[in-house]
Amino acid sequence: MRIFEGVATALITPFHEDLSVNYEKLAELIDKQIEDGVDALVICGTTGEAATLTEEEHMEVIRSAAKMINGRIPMIAGTGSNSTATAIKMSKEAEEAGADAVLLVSPYYNKGTQQGIYEHFADTANAINIPVVLYNIQGRTGVNIEPATIARLAKDVPNIVAVKEASGNISQVAKIRKMTDPETFSIYSGNDDQVVPLMSLGGSGVISVASHVIPGVMHKMVMDYLAGDVKSACELQIRYLNLMNALFCEVNPIPVKEALNILGCEVGPFRKPLTPMSPEHRELVIRELKAAGLM
């Protein structure tokens, strides 16, 4: 099954100044994203600063978001871990909370062999009944999920139905598409600057950071491509490329949270080791927000 087609925002987690989770602001962000036409939301992913949430906070954010979204669009809960037992526990809890799917990052730090990665994902997916999106981001985890491993999982485990590909390797995307069934397995871009190239290889959309500030643009880019208007999709990809790059001028989610604060959304500070942006990068973000007509 295809969880969504289009754009899913990898939603930030807003904080109060004391670094507690700001649930009122979370509800505002969710409502605004849905009003602006995004097709799904990812809760507690990388952009949601899941790495610095306690397990209790992590699950409370997922439970609260599920209630706030209330079935209006699909909710994908980030429940990945480098411990298979923890990934299983959190994925079960997310399913109970009402998540429509889970996003599972490949095991980081201890990494695992390709067989270990296969068993990690298979065991976790087999423990739940909702769809699973694999998350391949070697730059953060230190390990690549090889196309053959992805294809094996897609074939062997019925509820593993998609991958968020953030490797930046278009050749790898082509191999994944060649080795999987496009009717049963979706590929989503994990990089805002590669949406159109990935879709040209059979992708179904993007799990986006830029959609925090340009949700309509990101949605239109994907839908135009799917409708056969490749020229329009390409023009949007290029027109907003500098903004997309500016939103990654420091480690995600520092620039996008700062952009939202600049735009008056008041989403709060970061949890360390994330720190405020450098003045130069803040000016870059402001410049690109202005160039995009957002200020």
What average pLDDT does this structure show over 135-151? 95
What average pLDDT does this structure show over 273-279? 96
Q: What is the pTM of this model?
A: 0.97
What is the C-alpha separation between 269 and 275, in angstroms, rounded? 8
Structural domains of the chain ordered from first start: 6-229 (3.20.20.70)
> What's the confidence (pLDDT) of residue 10?
98
Percent of the chain with pLDDT strictly greater than 70: 100
Structure tokens at 197: 């190239």
pLDDT of 112 strictly over 80:
yes
What average pLDDT does this structure show over 217-230? 97
CA of residue 105 relative to chain centroid, distance: 10
> What's the confidence (pLDDT) of residue 117?
97
Q: What tens digit of pLDDT does each residue of 233-262 get?
A: 999 999 999 999 999 999 999 999 999 999
Percent of the chain with pLDDT strictly greater than 90: 98
Q: What tens digit of pLDDT does each residue of 153-197 get?
A: 999 999 999 999 999 999 999 999 999 999 999 999 999 999 999
Cis peptide before 273 (omega within 30 of 0): yes
What average pLDDT does this structure show over 199-214? 98
Per the CB < 8 A criterion, the answer to whether 192 and 253 are in contact is no
The residues annotated with a catalytic role in the active site are 135, 164
Sign of CA dihedral 80, 48, 110, 193: positive
> What's the confidence (pLDDT) of residue 249?
97
What is the C-alpha separation between 9 and 212, in angstroms, rounded? 7
> What's the confidence (pLDDT) of residue 184?
96
Q: How does the average pLDDT of the chain come out, rounded?
A: 97
